[in-house]
Amino acid sequence: RPKAMQAVGSAVGANHIAYLIPCHRVIRKDGLLGAYRWSATRKKSIIGWELAQTDGGVDV
């Protein structure tokens, strides 16, 4: 559903309250991290930190 993907992309891009709505967790359908309003590096860091907080964290 291309329209649904566009809607998600628009919502994520317009998110000004990322600490309440964790849009950094949106991953592309091909498994890549994709873009992030505050940089792909920050997105990777946040996801990596979250994974490290779980049992048997996964390297991103």
Tens digits of pLDDT across the chain (60 residues): 667 878 877 777 777 777 677 888 888 889 898 888 888 898 899 888 888 888 765 555
Q: Check 6, 22, 23, 25 and give the catalytic one.
A: 23
Ramachandran sector of residue 27 (left: φ over 0; alpha: ψ -120 to 50; beta: rest): beta
What is the per-residue pLDDT for 41?
93
Tell me whether residue 39 is exposed, middle or buried, using C-beta atoms within 10 angstroms of its C-beta: 0 to 12, 13 to 18, 19 or more.
Answer: exposed
Active-site residue flag, 20: no
